[in-house]
Amino acid sequence: MNADTQEPLSADTQEPVSAQVSSGSRRRRRMWRAMKRNKTTLVGLVLTTAILLVALFAPWLVPFDPVQQNLLKGDMPPGAEHVLGTDSFGRDVLSRIIMGARVSLGIALSAVGMALIFGSTLGVVAGYKGGAIDTATVRLTDLLMTFPTTILGLMVLAVLGSGMVNLSIAIAIAITPRFARIARGSAIALRERDFIQGARALGMSDARIICKHVLPNISNEVLVVASLWTATAILQEANLSFIGLGVKPPTPSWGGMIRDGVNQLLNQPWLSIAPGAAIFAVVLAFNMIGDGLRDILDPRTMD
Amino acid sequence: MSGYIVRRTLWAIPTMLGVMVFIFVVMRILPGDPAYAILGDEAPPEALEQFRRSWGLHEPLWIQFRDYVWGLLRGDLGISMANRRPILPQILRALPYTLDLAVSGLAVGLLLGIPLGILTARRRNTMTDYCARVLSLAGISTPSFYLGILLIFFFAYQTRLFPVIGAGDLSDPWDRLHHLVLPALSVGLAMMSYITRVTRSALLEVINMEYVRTARAKGLKERWVMYKHALRNAMMPVVSVVGIYTGILIGSSILVTIVFNRPGLGKLMVGGINTHDYLMLQAVMTFYAGIIVLVNLLTDLAYALIDPRIRYK
């Protein structure tokens, strides 16, 4: 609190930068301590880390080749050899779910990454510069936010065509406005602060002020938004893959597996229920982190 | 109040126009030429030219846009590129099913979510509160289409309580409702979870305010304090969340429509994507956008109804 209200107005440009960094990391340390105290967040963090590790090391963890067909072993129910059974091509469902973690999370996380970079750049420039750029950004984000993410994603995919990269772009477009919004708000709040005014008075260029002073100061807010919207990105990946606009077969993705399995729901329910449980677990984990962050950032909701 | 209603309603017109420009631009300017998409990359240039000419795609963009807006005003959305039948009657046939699902999902969300939110706020940190919070966290983490699949598995296959697919007979209210229960729960439970959470935290926030304490201190019945004093002020964030999540609910209804194989706008939309029927997509998107602009309008009006300060701004 007090650390960031006492920005030094020094002539030396190095000074305020380092002061900024230290106040940022102090805040981050404090948040980290609060997160460790919050049980929901802690469980969410552990769960997320575990799932991310599985996704990262998927090729070494799968018990069977996830795309290798073996028609002799098709439609096997869950058992000792195939823990979650096999699909009608004889592919091991557990292996496909593990590999699917890589695909589904990869798409969702790269979408969040793109939205974060593009949205916060747009928002910071708009908020800091003001004027016509700001008005245009606000109008555009308002317009994009009129559409629910699923419908916007469908619309973009309808035009771009399906596939892994396009799916990621579609999700990114759908959530970019959220990052632009929050970055813009923070940039506007920062714009009038003494240390920014000071840097400007010293003749620093706008680009340099944005990079050196504005971006480090909004990184916390933007990262929180990122963790909250990751859950949505994963849900959207599942939604759009379920409609059949995601990765092309035989590459496994969770939504696509449910789509393939749902026609055999009566006789082989594990084909669609197991990958759905995986989606549920990941989204739950990210929501638990998000819940904790919200409590920490907004102490009024704490009990 | 009436001044505010008029002003806010008029504001929906430029919003809708902006949204239509956006849909039009996305459909025309993003890469992906419908002529290539439908005729294939190998199509001879004459065939492509012929195709563009017959669908009016050779006209300048502003003329195409003018025709689109003018067509919408006259109630003529052109004919489908896929089945060559007029689009508007197809949409109007699908619309009741979509509205059925959206309204019943909303009803599930509100009628279960608000009472559950009140209950958890009043009994906070008890077992009831704890269970409801876990339930609502699970609710927002389950994709609606997956919930639909689970509901079909348990309540249509295993116990045969409800029909598996379809929308039933529209003219038979009982059959219609019977077919609606599982889809409505699929889209509504996520909404219920959001509303429970927001109602709970909004109530907890006002419950410690001085005017609530005053109301208690002057000896009002607890029920009266809760519903007359606390709830009305707690409703503000709830209304805005209802507005936001109605959009999300409409988005997830597309998927639930597919899972339950119901007719509806969602089915037209996905069909339009699969057949590259750009005119159909444009029309369905316009309808969805219209529904959402309307929901936003109603949300703002509900806001003004609850909080008199907004009317005088």
Nearest CA to B23 out of B267, B278, B295 is that of B278
Residue with tokens 């599985």: A54
**Peptide bond preceding B86: is omega within 30 degrees of 0, i.e. cis?**
no
pTM: 0.85
What does B19-32 look like in DSSP terms, one character per residue? HHHHHHHHHHHSS-
Would you say B152 and A265 are in contact if contact means Cβ atoms under 8 Å apart? yes
- Lowest-pLDDT range, A29-38, A251-260, B238-247? A29-38
Do the Cβ atoms of B269 and A161 come within 8 Å? no
CB pairs under 8 A between A and B: 120
Interface test with B, best of A38, A41, A145, A151 (most B CBs within 10 A): A151
Task: Round to whole Å and give the CA distance between B162 and A184.
Answer: 49
- Give how far Cα A223 sits from Cα of A183, A219, A229, Å: 11, 6, 10
Tell me the DSSP string of chain A: --TTT-----S-THHHHHHHHHHHHHHHHHHHHHHHH-HHHHHHHHHHHHHHHHHHTHHHH-SS-SS---GGGTTPPS-SSSTT-B-TT--BHHHHHHHHHHHHHHHHHHHHHHHHHHHHHHHHHHHHH-HHHHHHHHHHHHHHHHS-HHHHHHHHHHHH-SSHHHHHHHHHHHHHHHHHHHHHHHHHHHHTSHHHHHHHHTT--HHHHIIIIIHHHHHHHHHHHHHHHHHHHHHHHHHHHHHT-SSPTTS--HHHHHHHHGGGTTT-THHHHHHHHHHHHHHHHHHHHHHHHHHHH-GGG--
pLDDT surpasses 90 at A117: yes
Domain ranges of chain B: 87-306
Residues B310 and B7 sit within 8 Å (Cβ to Cβ): no
Say if CB A175 and CB A232 are below 8 A apart: yes
Closest among A160, A189, A171 to A234, alpha carbons compared: A171
Neighbour-count burial for B203-226, b at 16+ CB within 10 Å, e otherwise: bbbbbeeeebeebeeeeeeeeebb
- To 10 degrees, what angle do helices A149-160 and B265-274 make? 20
A32 and A224 Cβ atoms separated by less than 8 Å: no
CATH of domain B87-306: 1.10.3720.10
The tens place of each residue's pLDDT in chain B, 313 residues long, gives 788 888 888 888 888 888 888 888 888 766 556 677 677 777 777 877 777 777 777 777 788 888 888 888 888 888 888 788 889 999 999 999 999 999 999 999 999 999 999 999 888 888 888 898 889 999 999 999 999 999 999 888 778 777 777 767 777 778 888 888 899 999 999 999 999 999 998 888 888 788 888 888 888 887 878 777 788 888 888 888 888 888 889 999 999 999 998 899 999 998 888 888 888 888 999 999 999 899 989 988 888 888 777 776 5
Residue A41: closest CA among A224, A232, A288: A288
For tokens 């018990």, what's the residue?
A63
| Contact assignment for A160 to B31 by CB distance below 8 Å | yes
Q: Name the closest residue on chain A to residue B24, using Cα atoms.
A: A155
Whole-number mean pLDDT of chain A? 81
How does residue A23 score in pLDDT terms, banded at 50, 70 and 90?
A: low
Chain B, residues 109-168, CB within 8 A of chain A, namely 124-125, 137-138, 140-143, 145-146, 149-150, 152-153, 157
pLDDT at residue A172, rounded to an integer: 95
Tokens of A231: 């859950």
Selected for mutation to probe chain A from B129, B273, B288, B293 (highest A CB count within 10 Å) is B273
Question: How much is the ipTM here?
Answer: 0.86
Q: Is the minimum CB–CB distance between B193 and chain A shorter than 8 Å?
A: no
Task: For helices A93-129 and A131-146, give the axis angle rounded to 10 degrees.
Answer: 150
Determine the Cα–Cα distance for residues B179 and B186; give it in Å rounded to an integer.
12
